[in-house]
Chains A and B, each alone.
Chain A
Amino acid sequence: NAGVMQNPRHLVRRRGQEARLRCSPMKGHSHVYWYRQLPEEGLKFMVYLQKENIIDESGMPKERFSAEFPKEGPSILRIQQVVRGDSAAYFCASSPNGGANTEAFFGQGTRLTVV
């Protein structure tokens, strides 16, 4: 049973380009969460999605960032017109549901570097 798969592991973008980060949850998991970790900081919640629905996007920057989790395929975190401050490790986690005593399992992360 494969874990949470994120790709790419490393992504380099020039300022102004778009970054697309992909996350395939664990088999049977329908809830996906995206977190961002800046250098020397803890993980910060960005967005919580179920299939085809955004449940909570309170941690997403208002501009340039968007996320989706389509009926088929991986969840995508999209950052438009990247800036140097977007350089961070982006982690995706999944859980089977949002119910009680649920653990979130994390992927290995995508390290985005904006040059």
Chain B
Amino acid sequence: DQQVKQNSPSLSVQEGRISILNCDYTNSMFDYFLWYKKYPAEGPTFLISISSIKDKNEDGRFTVFLNKSAKHLSLHIVPSQPGDSAVYFCAASEWAGTASKLTFGTGTRLQVTL
């Protein structure tokens, strides 16, 4: 039972354009959502998070949007850079604002082309 779903296994975007990565979830108890970036042979690196009481959180080039009624969140990267090429994981937690027991999606591989 995949409670966090990233339906696009891969995405290719030109440098300078916007990258939009999507994530859907089924568990209505999820209260805190995070995005991680992962390079090959490395551990996930935290990017940005959002609490369920918000619908948007922005940090530099990264913005996360949350639509609770649709159980959907998205990560926008603008402008995209070649160094953004990596696998992006969406993760969710039932405990408000905590990193405990995260449920991860299967990841989306982003390729930013020149």
Contacts and interface: CB of A to CB of B under 8 A. Distances in A.
A48 B101 contact: yes
Interface in A84-115: 91, 93, 95, 98-109
A105 B49 CA distance: 13
B28 interface: no
Contacts, number: 77
B101 A56 contact: yes
Interface string B88-114: 010100011111111111110000000
Contacts of B41: 108-109
B103 A45 contact: yes
A59 B101 CA distance: 9
A69 interface: no
Q: What interface size band does chain A fall in?
A: 20 to 34
Interface string B33-47: 010100001111110
A107 B88 CA distance: 16
B73 interface: no
Q: Report the contact-size class of chain B (Cβ under 8 Å from the partner).
A: 20 to 34
A33 B97 contact: no
A109 B98 contact: no
A99 B97 contact: yes
Smallest CB-CB A-B distances: 9 pairs: A100-B97, A106-B43, A104-B99, A42-B104, A43-B104, A42-B106, A101-B97, A102-B99, A106-B44
Interface of B: 4, 6, 34, 36, 41-46, 49, 51, 89, 91, 95-107
Given A6-B43, A59-B101, 7 more contacts: A33-B102, A55-B100, A93-B43, A98-B95, A98-B99, A101-B98, A102-B100
